[in-house]
């Protein structure tokens, strides 16, 4: 009997890449591959890359350089680069690293079986097209193998917003929404495999239009699936947060009280330069409407400091917006250029200025996060337990607010939503006592 080939996938970046890596593994499963956690054991290595962070391409080339040792030791080893860096760099990857066998963009990975057949025959394979065929329709149904209690489910891809700092429209393409019936079918497959919580993914997920009532309509349709207990979604744009979706946060029991809603800056001047097409005031009024629908909702956001042209006053406006909103969680970054984007052509701020601003912003956000965590002490939350903790008899899960919670509990709680009283907070997690 022929031994199965082993596939190692290293995933960078966002949750959509996590989802894509799962689907790549499933696509190659039909070619006889099984996944391994060890690159040195693999017959094929795939780097599923992200182009959002600073110097993303150079980090990929550095990783490929480290893998040359594995390729030298096992000449038949196949190495591939997938994802957004693959889309942006294309043939340049193979030129700089001739040991790479295949390069595939995020919209073409359903063609991996054919690409694998080509490279096994000694050819190189490159596919960074935006194909007309629907990759989700081509991919086979999800595996029925037992899964953990949480999963990502891509419902929308691409973005039409063209923010001045962002490469997503160039690497992921225009906004495309998957038909609701296919999403519902995949969701049922995941629930049948043991999933209890789904996070709906999209570069601009609340622009989803594959259901006649938009993302809110899809969420309500998903609530009808027996066994699905929790629904989340990310990442959203403020301009696509319609009233139906706001209302769903107030009335849909399965939709969790957590919302990631990036604003990027609190300065109207910088927001205009970013091509965000909203103002700080319109964002704040939107937050008021969301909190009116769901007062206990935990808000998360994204911020870029040091965008070209940002003044001290622009940055102070950002700090004020953060104070006005009070985030329970947030992500903040220094601006870094992305070749081909409009902002890349503008004069850049000194690095020391950006560093100082980032430290001040992160200190404020960290203080707000710690205040939010401390406010949970004494409260009862519902935790979906996902795995065992490091200590014996300890289990870890997420509350409805996406806080990591650990508690002494039997292993039988795995995959269950249980009532927990929070008794202690720490920097990145909460300690609770099982009460039901």
- Asked whether the beta carbons of 432 and 373 are under 8 A apart, the reply is no
92 CB-near residues (< 8 Å, 6+ apart): none
252 labelled binding-site residue? no
Query: How many Å apart are CA 268 and CA 276, to the nearest integer?
Result: 9
- Asked whether the beta carbons of 389 and 431 are under 8 A apart, the reply is no
Given strand 230-234, what is the order of strands in its sheet? 150-154, 197-201, 230-234
| CA diameter of the chain | 69
In SS3 terms, the chain reads as CCCCEEEEEEECCCHHHHHHHHHHHHHHHCCCEEECCCHHHCCEEEEEECCCCCCHHHHHHHHHHHHHHHHHHCCCCEEEEEEHHHHHHCHHHHHHCCCCCEEECCCCHHHHHHHHHHHHCCCCEEECCCCCCCHHHHCCCCCCCCCCCEEEEECEECCCCCCCCCCHHHHCCCCEECCHHHHHHHHHHHHHCCCCEEEEECCCHHHCCCCCCHHHHHHHHHCCCCCCCEEEEECCCHHHCCHHHHHHHHHCCCECCEEECCCECCCHHHHHHCCCCCCHHHHHHHHHHHHHHCCCCEEEEEEEECCCCCCHHHHHHHHHHHHHHCCCEEEEEECCCCCCCHHHHCCCCCHHHHHHHHHHHHHHHHHHHHHHHHHCCCCEEEEEEEEECCCCCEEEEECCCCCEEEEECCHHHCCCEEEEEEEEECCCCEEEEECC
Other Cβ atoms less than 10 A from the Cβ of 233: the count is 26
Query: How many Å apart are CA 60 and CA 80, to the nearest integer?
Result: 11
Residue numbers belonging to the annotated binding site for [4Fe-4S] cluster: 14, 50, 84, 159, 163, 166
Residue numbers belonging to the annotated binding site: 14, 50, 84, 159, 163, 166
């Amino acid at each position: 009997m022929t031994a199965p080939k082993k596939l190692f996938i290293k995933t960078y970046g966002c949750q959509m890449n996590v989802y894509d890596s799962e689907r790549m593994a499933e696509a190659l499963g039909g070619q006889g591959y099984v996944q391994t956690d060890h690159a040195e054991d693999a017959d094929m290595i795939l780097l599923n890359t992200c182009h959002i962070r600073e110097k993303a391409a150079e980090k990929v080339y550095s990783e490929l350089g480290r893998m040359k040792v594995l390729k030298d030791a096992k000449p038949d080893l196949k190495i591939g680069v997938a994802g957004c860096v693959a889309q942006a760099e294309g043939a340049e990857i193979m030129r700089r690293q001739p040991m790479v066998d295949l390069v595939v963009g995020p919209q073409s990975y359903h063609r991996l079986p054919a690409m694998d057949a080509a490279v096994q025959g000694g050819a190189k394979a490159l596919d960074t097209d935006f194909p007309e065929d629907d990759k989700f329709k081509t991919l086979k149904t999800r595996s029925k193998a037992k899964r953990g209690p949480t999963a990502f489910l891509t419902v929308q891809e691409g973005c039409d917003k063209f923010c001045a700092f962002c490469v997503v429209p160039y690497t992921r393409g225009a906004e495309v929404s998957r038909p609701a019936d296919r999403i519902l079918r995949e969701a049922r497959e995941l629930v049948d495999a043991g999933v209890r919580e789904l996070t709906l993914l999209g570069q601009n997920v609340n622009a989803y239009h594959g259901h006649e009532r938009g993302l809110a309509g899809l969420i309500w349709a998903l609530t009808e699936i027996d066994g699905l207990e929790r629904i989340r979604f990310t990442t959203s744009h403020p301009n696509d947060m319609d009233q139906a979706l706001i209302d769903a946060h107030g009335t849909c029991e399965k939709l969790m009280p957590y919302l990631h809603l990036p604003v990027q800056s609190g300065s109207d001047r910088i927001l205009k330069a970013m091509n965000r097409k909203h103002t700080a005031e319109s964002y704040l009024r939107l937050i008021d409407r969301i909190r009116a629908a769901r007062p206990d909702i935990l808000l998360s956001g994204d911020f870029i400091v040091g965008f070209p042209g940002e003044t001290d006053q622009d940055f102070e406006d950002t700090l004020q917006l953060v104070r006005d909103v009070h985030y329970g969680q947030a992500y903040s970054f220094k601006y870094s250029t992305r070749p081909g984007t409009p902002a890349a052509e503008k004069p850049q701020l000194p690095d020391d200025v950006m560093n100082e601003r980032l430290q001040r912003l992160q200190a404020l956000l960290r203080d707000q996060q710690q205040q939010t965590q401390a406010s949970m002490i004494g409260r009862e939350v519902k935790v979906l337990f996902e795995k065992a903790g490091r200590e014996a008899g300890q289990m870890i899960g997420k509350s409805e607010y996406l806080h990591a919670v650990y508690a002494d509990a039997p292993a039988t709680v795995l995959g269950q939503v249980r009532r927990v009283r929070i008794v202690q907070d720490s920097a990145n997690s909460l300690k609770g006592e099982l009460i039901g």
